[in-house]
Amino acid sequence: AMKVLVSCGSDVKCDRLLGRVAKLNKSGSFEALFCIGSLHSGDGESTQSSFLSGDSPLPIATYVFGAVPDGVDASLENLHLLGTYGFTTVGKLSVVYYIESSVPNQSVSGEKRTRDQTDEDFSSLEALVKSKDLPCDILITSSWPAGVLNNIQRKDYPADQKDTGNSPTGSSNVTKLNQICQPRYHFVTNSRTPGETAPASSQVYFERIPFKHMSASHVCRFISIPEIDTKGQKWLYASNITPIEEMKEEQLAQIPPHTTESPFVVNSAPEPALKKFKPEEPATLKVHSSYGAFGSLSGGGEENEDSWSHHRYNHEYRDGRNSKPKKIDRCWFCIDSDDVAEHLIASIGDECYLALPKGGLVPDHLLIIPLDHITNPYDLKKETFAEIARYKQSLGEYGKKSGKNFVFFERNVRTQYGMVHYLIQCVPVPESTSSEEIQRKFEEISRVQYQISYQVLSNRDEIRSHVKKNTQYFVAELPDKRCLLHLVKNSRRHPLQLGREVLAEVIGHPERKNWKECELNQQEEIKLAAQFKGAYKPYDFTLA
Ligand SMILES: [Zn+2]
C-alpha cells in the first residue's frame, strides 16, 4: 500500500501546503503528495514560493496535475509536473487525470492551449485511457462529474448544499471518464466547471457515500477537496491506498455499508442503501473501539470500570508491570490519520484542532488536540501552547454567553500503549458553581475513592516548575484559573475516569460518568457537532 496526501493547490498557498506536508511527514511515512490544480493563482499575481524557486527542497515527491506555472523549474528534485491530462503511474498506483481550465494555459510541451481545445483534449485522453489496463486506482479531475449526487439523500449532500438541495451541474465528460476508468478513488477540486450554472461546493470537504460501479465489482470513493488553507475544513486528504494489482479479488469486491448504486444510473425510485450487499464491519464501530482503546478520551478499553475494586487492583497491577506496553501503529487523534472521527471535528487551527469526544459528558464537552502527534506536553512548541490558550479563551467566551464556565483537565499518564496523543478535556459547568465547590468535589472524591491528593497552583503556567519531561500527572484547571495538580508516581496507576467522574457529580449527573453509556449514534453525533459549530462560530478565531 502507498501512503499518499492529496490537496487542491494554487501557487499562492504553496508554501502553506508544503509546510504542513513537511510537518505531517516528519516520520517519513508518506510517499507522495498529489497536488490537483494549476498551481496558478488565476489573477496573474503569483507569489514566488521558496519551494518552487528551489530555495527549499520539496519535502516529498510532489505530483502536480494541472497547467505548468510560469517560472517554475521543472527539473526540481521531487517535483513532477504532469500537465493537464494523461495517464501515469505513481509507484504501482495507476492514475488518470483531466484538469479543465477556463483560462488559456500551457501544456507540458509548451504549446498554447485555449478553451476550445478542451474537447480535443478529451478525445485524445479517452483514446489513451482505453489503450491502458483498466480499471485504474485513481481518477483526478478539476470538475465534478455530472450527477454524482444522484442516489443519495439530501442529508448526505455536501454541508453547504443540504439546505438548497442544489446539485452541481458538473461535467458530462468527467462522468464519462469515471465510467470508462472505473477508479477506486475519484478526487476532484472544487473549481467551477466552465459554463456551469450551479457550481460545486467550493468551501467544504465532501466525501460521497461510496458507490458501486455499474459494470465492476468494486466501489468508487468520490472525494472533493477544498482549496488549500480553507478555514475549518479538511484541505489535505491522507490515505493509504493499495494498488489494484496487489489486491485479491475478494478484497476488491468488499462493499462498505450504505454503499449506493452508481449515481450515473438514475433510478425512478432511488434506494439509497443496497441491502443485498453484506456489509463489512461498520465504520462507526471501528471508530468506537478505537476511541475506547485510547481511553484517554474519556474512558474505555484501557481499564475496566471495576478494575479499581480492591481485590482486582493488585492482580491488574502485577499484570501491568510484567508486560511491555502494547504497540499501536495508528493514532486516532492525528489529524492526518485515516481513522480520525472527521464528523466530530469542530474547528481546525494552525497547531491544534477542536473536536467533540465520543459520548461527551454534556453536549458541549470538547477536546483540544494538537495536530502533531505529541505525546508529551513537554515537547509542545510555544506556538502550540499559544493556540491551546486561544482555544481555551474562546471557549470561555462562548461559555459566558450561556452562563457556563469551562473546567479543563489533562491526564498525562502512561497507558498500556505507552504515552498517547496529548489532549485537553474541556467541560462546561454552570456559572453558579464556584471554583471552590468544584475544588472540594475533586478533593473529596479523589481522597475517598482513590487516596489521591492535590497541590494547588495559582495558574497553569506554574505547572512547569513541578513537572519534568517524564513526569506523569493529572491536572484540572478551575474557572478561576487555579490548578489542582497531582503527580502520578511511576509505580502507581491513575484512575482513567477521575476528571469525568468528578465533573459528572459537579453538574449533578453522576449517572453520566461512564462515556459508553452516553454514546450516540453517528447521525446524532453529526447533529450535535453541527449544533456546537453553529453556536461556537462567533468565537472561533480560526474563521476570523
Ligand atoms: Zn497522534
Q: What is the pLDDT of residues 469-484, one digit of tens each?
A: 888 999 999 999 999 9
Between the CA of 340 and the centroid of ligand 1 the distance, in Å, is 9
Query: CA-CA-CA-CA torsion for 118, 120, 123, 126, nearest 10 degrees?
Result: -50
Q: Which residue has the higher pLDDT, 254 or 67?
A: 254
- Which three cell numbers, joined as nine digits, stand for 376? 508529551
The total of other beta-carbon atoms located within 10 Å of residue 277's CB is 16
State how far the Cα of 380 lies from the Cα of 424, in Å rounded to an integer. 13
DSSP 207-222: EPPPEE-TTSSSEEEE
CATH classification code of 2-252 = 3.60.21
Give the pLDDT confidence of 326-338 residue by residue, as tens digits.
Answer: 444 567 888 877 7
Between the CA of 452 and the centroid of ligand 1 the distance, in Å, is 29
- Which three cell numbers, joined as nine digits, stand for 178? 469515471
Q: What pLDDT does 536 receive?
A: 96
> What mean pLDDT, rounded, does the chain reach?
79
Listed in order, the ranges of the chain carrying CATH 3.60.21 are 2-252
Between the CA of 518 and the centroid of ligand 1 the distance, in Å, is 24
Burial bucket for residue 518 (CB in 10 Å: 0-12, 13-18, 19+): buried
Residue type, 487: L
Between the CA of 71 and the centroid of ligand 1 the distance, in Å, is 38
State how far the Cα of 140 lies from the Cα of 62, in Å rounded to an integer. 15
pLDDT of 178 over the 90 cut: yes
Q: How confident is the model at residue 230 (pLDDT cuts 50, 70, 90)?
A: confident
Between the CA of 132 and the centroid of ligand 1 the distance, in Å, is 39
Q: Which residue has the higher pLDDT, 77 or 507?
A: 507
State how far the Cα of 384 lies from the Cα of 362, in Å rounded to an integer. 26
Burial bucket for residue 339 (CB in 10 Å: 0-12, 13-18, 19+): middle
Q: How confident is the model at residue 283 (pLDDT cuts 50, 70, 90)?
A: very low
Between the CA of 299 and the centroid of ligand 1 the distance, in Å, is 17
Query: CA-CA-CA-CA torsion for 345, 347, 348, 349, nearest 10 degrees?
Result: -150
Q: What pLDDT does 280 receive?
A: 36
Residue type, 523: Q
Q: Which residue has the higher pLDDT, 116 or 378?
A: 378
Between the CA of 330 and the centroid of ligand 1 the distance, in Å, is 8
Between the CA of 374 and the centroid of ligand 1 the distance, in Å, is 7
Between the CA of 372 and the centroid of ligand 1 the distance, in Å, is 7
Between the CA of 106 and the centroid of ligand 1 the distance, in Å, is 41
Between the CA of 430 and the centroid of ligand 1 the distance, in Å, is 32
Between the CA of 290 and the centroid of ligand 1 the distance, in Å, is 12
For residue 518, how far is the Cα from the chain centroid?
23
Between the CA of 369 and the centroid of ligand 1 the distance, in Å, is 9
Between the CA of 344 and the centroid of ligand 1 the distance, in Å, is 16
Q: What pLDDT does 422 receive?
A: 93
Q: How confident is the model at residue 38 (pLDDT cuts 50, 70, 90)?
A: low
Between the CA of 334 and the centroid of ligand 1 the distance, in Å, is 4
- Which three cell numbers, joined as nine digits, stand for 177? 471518464
pLDDT of 109 over the 50 cut: no
Between the CA of 332 and the centroid of ligand 1 the distance, in Å, is 6
DSSP label at residue 325: P
Q: How confident is the model at residue 153 (pLDDT cuts 50, 70, 90)?
A: confident
Q: Which residue has the higher pLDDT, 474 or 25?
A: 474
pLDDT of 287 over the 60 cut: no
Between the CA of 57 and the centroid of ligand 1 the distance, in Å, is 26
- What are the distances in angstroms from CA 42 to CA 7, 67, 442? 17, 11, 57
Q: Which residue has the higher pLDDT, 280 or 237?
A: 237
| Cα R_g (the chain), whole angstroms | 26
Residue type, 154: R
Mean pLDDT of 368-392: 91
What is the third-level CATH fold of 286-543? HIT family, subunit A (3.30.428)
Between the CA of 51 and the centroid of ligand 1 the distance, in Å, is 27
Between the CA of 117 and the centroid of ligand 1 the distance, in Å, is 47
Task: Say what the ipTM of the complex is.
Answer: 0.98
Q: Which residue has the higher pLDDT, 436 or 255?
A: 436
Listed in order, the ranges of the chain carrying CATH 3.30.428.10 are 286-543
